[in-house]
């Protein structure tokens, strides 16, 4: 009985946090920095932007839509639906508020679990976008790629190549990674908010006292922005099988993102 009572209280508190909590939790002086920077988000497939990077994307776009860019490395043609999925991606990001010209699509990589992507080629494509659009912040998957999909992990792998081959440019660009959380947290929905916030507080303390450069940033959504993100997810019509609908409710990645520093 006590367990159920505690559970109800916990759910109520999470609901309260969802409704009342701030969109973005970063250091006061850094909030401005995030929204004034030109940011490139590098994803592997159409729908990664909403399924995994959604809260981050909605937060950044609602503050400075012209400064956000997305590079999608494949058309998502695993089932031969590349052309349809590319159009769905354009619709989805426009629903969030991203100008169409800020979306870059390339079909130089094949979608699939058995495909290995060339990190040097990804690095060259990213470098071109950075130079052409004065990008200062680059965000992509961490080494686990949230779902461990090989294409996500390959997307991450370009950073190492970029850092060693782009000379001066590599030092002027900041890299941030989308944190992959454990499976039991991944499907906690908005109930993961307190856990994420406590984790960030502990991490902040550690980064101030023991491990500098281990910073984390939290991007959460209010209910109205969450609904906006769900509408964008549903723009990927060809992918909206039943478990994606369940995902839109149960995945914490539909409610919050945590970014970490990339330590070179
Ligand atoms: Zn993907």
CATH number at residue 37: 3.40.50.10320
Two tokens, residue 104? 């870059």
Query: Residue 154 C-alpha to ligand 1 middle, in angstroms?
Result: 11
Considering the domain boundaries, does residue 34 fall inside one?
A: yes
Query: Residue 34 C-alpha to ligand 1 middle, in angstroms?
Result: 25
Query: Residue 5 C-alpha to ligand 1 middle, in angstroms?
Result: 38
Considering the domain boundaries, does residue 218 fall inside one?
A: no
Query: Residue 28 C-alpha to ligand 1 middle, in angstroms?
Result: 32
Q: What is the Cα–Cα distance from 152 to 134, expressed in whole angstroms?
A: 25
Considering the domain boundaries, does residue 144 fall inside one?
A: yes
46 and 75 in contact (C-beta within 8 Å)? yes
What are residue 104's DSSP bridge partners? Answer: 71
49 and 70 in contact (C-beta within 8 Å)? yes
Query: Residue 254 C-alpha to ligand 1 middle, in angstroms?
Result: 14
Check residue 112 and give its pLDDT: 93
Considering the domain boundaries, does residue 262 fall inside one?
A: no
DSSP 3-state of 114:
coil
DSSP 3-state of 251:
coil
Q: What is the Cα–Cα distance from 117 to 157, expressed in whole angstroms?
A: 9
Query: Residue 52 C-alpha to ligand 1 middle, in angstroms?
Result: 8
User: What is residue 9's DSSP assignment?
Assistant: H
Query: Residue 206 C-alpha to ligand 1 middle, in angstroms?
Result: 32
Pairing of strands 216-220, 24-25: antiparallel
Q: What is the Cα–Cα distance from 49 to 92, expressed in whole angstroms?
A: 9
190 and 249 in contact (C-beta within 8 Å)? no
Query: Residue 105 C-alpha to ligand 1 middle, in angstroms?
Result: 14
Two tokens, residue 119? 């990190």
Return the exposure string of 172-187: e unless at least 16 CB atoms fall within 10 Å of the residue's CB, then b.
ebebbbbbbbeeeebb
Q: What is the Cα–Cα distance from 169 to 159, expressed in whole angstroms?
A: 12
Q: What is the Cα–Cα distance from 251 to 254, expressed in whole angstroms?
A: 6
Query: Residue 130 C-alpha to ligand 1 middle, in angstroms?
Result: 22
Check residue 22 and give its pLDDT: 56
Considering the domain boundaries, does residue 165 fall inside one?
A: yes
Query: Residue 136 C-alpha to ligand 1 middle, in angstroms?
Result: 24
Check residue 154 and give its pLDDT: 96
Domain hosting residue 152, numbered range: 26-184+224-250
Considering the domain boundaries, does residue 51 fall inside one?
A: yes
Query: Residue 156 C-alpha to ligand 1 middle, in angstroms?
Result: 12
Two tokens, residue 241? 């099988």
Q: What is the Cα–Cα distance from 246 to 67, expressed in whole angstroms?
A: 32
What are residue 24's DSSP bridge partners? Answer: 219
Query: Residue 101 C-alpha to ligand 1 middle, in angstroms?
Result: 22
Note down pLDDT in tens along the chain; length 264 residues.
Answer: 678 888 888 888 877 777 766 555 544 445 567 777 899 999 999 999 999 999 999 989 988 889 999 999 999 888 888 899 999 999 999 999 999 999 999 988 999 999 999 999 999 999 999 999 999 999 999 999 999 999 999 999 999 999 888 777 888 899 999 999 999 999 999 999 889 988 888 888 887 777 766 788 888 888 889 999 999 999 999 999 999 999 999 999 999 999 998 876
Query: Residue 46 C-alpha to ligand 1 middle, in angstroms?
Result: 7
Query: Residue 47 C-alpha to ligand 1 middle, in angstroms?
Result: 7
Check residue 26 and give its pLDDT: 46
151 and 115 in contact (C-beta within 8 Å)? yes
pTM greater than the 0.85 cutoff: yes
Considering the domain boundaries, does residue 261 fall inside one?
A: no
Query: pLDDT for 193-228, tens place per residue?
Result: 889 988 888 888 887 777 766 788 888 888 889 999
The number of domains in the chain is: 1
Query: Residue 48 C-alpha to ligand 1 middle, in angstroms?
Result: 5
Ligand 1 is an ion; residues with CB less than 5 A from it: 44-45, 48
Q: What is the Cα–Cα distance from 256 to 110, expressed in whole angstroms?
A: 29
Rounded (10°) angle between helices 223-234 and 82-96:
160
Query: Residue 250 C-alpha to ligand 1 middle, in angstroms?
Result: 18
Number of H helices, E strands in the chain: 13, 8
Considering the domain boundaries, does residue 3 fall inside one?
A: no
């Amino acid at each position: 009985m006590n367990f159920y009572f505690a559970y109800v209280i916990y759910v109520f508190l999470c609901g309260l946090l969802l409704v009342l909590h701030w969109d973005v939790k970063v250091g006061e002086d850094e909030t401005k920095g995030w929204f004034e920077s030109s940011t490139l988000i590098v994803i592997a497939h159409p729908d990664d932007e909403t399924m995994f990077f959604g809260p981050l994307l909605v937060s950044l776009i609602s503050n400075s839509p012209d400064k956000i860019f997305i590079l999608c490395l494949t058309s998502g043609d695993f089932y031969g639906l590349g052309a349809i999925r590319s159009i769905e991606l354009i619709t989805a990001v426009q629903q969030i508020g991203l100008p169409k010209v800020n979306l870059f699509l390339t079909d130089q990589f094949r979608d699939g679990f058995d495909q290995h992507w060339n990190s040097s080629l990804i690095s060259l494509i990213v470098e071109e976008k950075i130079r052409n659009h004065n990008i200062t912040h680059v965000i992509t998957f961490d080494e686990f790629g949230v779902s461990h999909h090989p294409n996500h992990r390959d997307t991450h792998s370009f950073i190492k190549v970029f850092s060693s081959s782009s000379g001066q440019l590599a030092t002027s660009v900041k890299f941030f990674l989308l944190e992959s959380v454990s499976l039991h947290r991944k499907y906690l929905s908005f109930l993961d908010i307190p856990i994420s916030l406590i984790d960030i507080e502990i991490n902040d303390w550690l980064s101030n006292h023991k491990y500098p450069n281990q910073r984390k940033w939290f991007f959460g959504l209010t209910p109205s922005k969450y609904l906006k993100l769900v509408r964008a997810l549903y723009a990927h019509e060809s992918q909206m099988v039943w478990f994606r609908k369940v995902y839109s409710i149960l995945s914490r990645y539909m409610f919050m993102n945590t970014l970490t520093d990339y330590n070179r």
